């Protein structure tokens, strides 16, 4: 079991353990959760650390359904015809379900099994809320597969902004008993591998690998001993919001 004070101090500590990273740009993540772009400890989370929360322990994690309403605000989405938009909605639901399952599996399978994955919150539960805010196809999709898949290809000005595909997410940890938000985080990354089979390429191809990697890092973050910094995978090309 992990006390909340241990969890916050170990996993984030952005407000309390900023350290001496003076060479970093303003707003840069200086917490121990270096696998995401930015981390914020809320007032409720900071208060729990200061008070040490001796009676609060967590042994469970509940990963709530992943939301994705903001994906429909992406500029290239509006260009699609109604039939393609319906397929996009189904694809987004599929990716969101994949993300929930990936995080659950990574947390449940982490060595030592310190956190049990549950589907109903209790006073011993940390709730992990995730939201997909960006999911962009790679440029190669527009160049090779978009027409065959029924997509309306963006104009040259918009198409040039796509290189590798990208995925962006926002998340927060809540107390299972009170529902208080303890920690917020935000992250974006690009696809980490090249296209191999154009015929099997989908617009969200590449996101699954990124999701699995983030899920493994989240599991490590939750279980990390005090003082451990959890870094991003070096093989992933990272970009900032």
Number of residues that this document lists for the chain: 241
What average pLDDT does the segment 211-232 reach? 82
- For residue 101, the model assigns a pLDDT of 97
Question: 181-190 and 38-41: which strand pairing?
Answer: antiparallel
Contacts with 211 (C-beta within 8 Å, 6 or more apart), sequence order: 95, 98, 99, 102, 167
User: pLDDT digit string (tens) for 86-141?
Assistant: 888 898 999 999 999 999 999 999 998 789 999 999 989 999 999 999 888 877 77
Report the phi/psi class of residue 187: left, alpha or beta, with left for phi > 0 and alpha for psi in -120 to 50.
Answer: beta
Average pLDDT score over the chain: 74
Lookup: tokens for 3: 């006390």
The whole-angstrom separation of Cα 208 and Cα 99 is: 8
Q: What is the pLDDT of residue 156?
A: 54
- What integer pLDDT is reported at residue 48 of this predicted model? 62
Angle at CA of residue 225, ends 7 and 46, nearest 5°: 25
Structure token digits, residue 225: 């001993």
Neighbouring residues of 22: CB distance < 8 A, sequence distance ≥ 6: none
What distance in Å separates the CA atoms of residue 172 and residue 131, rounded to the nearest whole number?
A: 9
Query: How many Å is the Cα radius of gyration of the chain?
Result: 19
pLDDT digits (tens, 9 = 90+) for 164-199: 778 899 999 999 888 899 889 989 887 765 444 455
Q: Is the pLDDT at 239 greater than 80, yes or no?
A: no
What tokens does 166 get? 């990208």
Comparing CA positions, the residue from 173, 41, 60 lying closest to residue 123 is 60
Residue 129 is predicted with a pLDDT of: 96
This model's pTM is above 0.95:
no
Give the strand pairing for 230-231 and 33-34: parallel
CA dihedral (114, 171, 6, 181) in degrees, to 10, reads -120
| Distance separating alpha carbons of residues 74 and 134, to the nearest angstrom | 7
């Amino acid at each position: 079991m992990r006390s909340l004070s241990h969890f916050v101090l170990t996993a984030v500590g952005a407000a309390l353990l900023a350290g001496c990273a003076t060479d970093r740009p303003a707003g840069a993540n200086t917490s121990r959760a270096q696998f995401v772009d930015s981390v914020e400890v809320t007032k409720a989370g900071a208060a729990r650390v200061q008070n040490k929360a001796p009676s609060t322990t967590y042994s469970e994690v509940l990963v709530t359904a992943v939301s994705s309403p903001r994906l429909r605000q992406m500029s290239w989405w509006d260009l699609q015809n109604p039939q393609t938009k319906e397929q996009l909605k189904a694809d987004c639901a599929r990716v969101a379900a994949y993300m929930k399952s990936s995080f659950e599996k990574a947390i449940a399978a982490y060595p030592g099994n310190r956190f049990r994955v549950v589907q109903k919150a209790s006073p011993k539960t940390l709730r992990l809320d995730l939201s997909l805010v960006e999911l962009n196809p790679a440029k190669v999709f527009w160049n090779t597969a978009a027409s065959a898949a029924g997509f309306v290809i963006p104009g040259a000005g918009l198409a040039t902004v796509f290189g590798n595909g990208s995925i962006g997410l926002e998340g927060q940890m809540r107390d299972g008993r009170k529902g208080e938000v303890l920690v917020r985080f935000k992250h974006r990354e690009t696809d980490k591998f090249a296209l191999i089979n154009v015929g099997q390429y989908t617009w969200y191809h590449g996101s699954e690998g990124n999701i699995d990697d983030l899920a493994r890092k989240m599991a490590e973050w939750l279980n990390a001993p005090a003082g451990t910094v959890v870094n991003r995978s070096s093989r992933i090309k990272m970009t900032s919001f």
